[in-house]
Amino acid sequence: MSSAPARARDGTMSMMIACPEDLFVRHRALLEWLSSRLVQVSGRIGDSMRTELVNNLLAAINLAGAAEALALATRLGLDPAVTLDVIERSSGQDWIGGDRMRRALAGDLAPRAHTSLLRKDAALALDMAHAVLVQPELGATAATLFARACDDGWADLDDASLYDMLARRQR
Task: Express each pLDDT in 90-123 by its tens digit.
Answer: 999 999 999 999 999 999 999 999 999 999 999 9
Residue 96: the pLDDT is: 94
Return the pLDDT at 8: 64
Closest by CA to 13, choosing from 35, 29, 32, 31, is 35
Q: Give residue 170's pLDDT.
A: 56
- pLDDT score at 14: 82
* CA 4 to chain CA centroid, nearest Å: 10
Residue 64 near residue 146, CB atoms below 8 Å = yes
- Residue 1 confidence (pLDDT): 67
pLDDT value at residue 34: 85
Number of residues in the chain: 171
For 133-144, the DSSP string reads T---HHHHHHHH
Q: Which CATH fold would you assign to the domain 48-169?
A: N-(1-d-carboxylethyl)-l-norvaline Dehydrogenase; domain 2 (1.10.1040)
Q: Which residues of the chain have pLDDT under 70?
A: 1-12, 170-171
Q: Largest Cα–Cα distance of the chain, in whole Å?
A: 58
Q: pTM for this one?
A: 0.88
Residues carrying CATH 1.10.1040.10, the chain = 48-169
Answer whether 2's CB lies under 8 Å from 16's CB.
yes
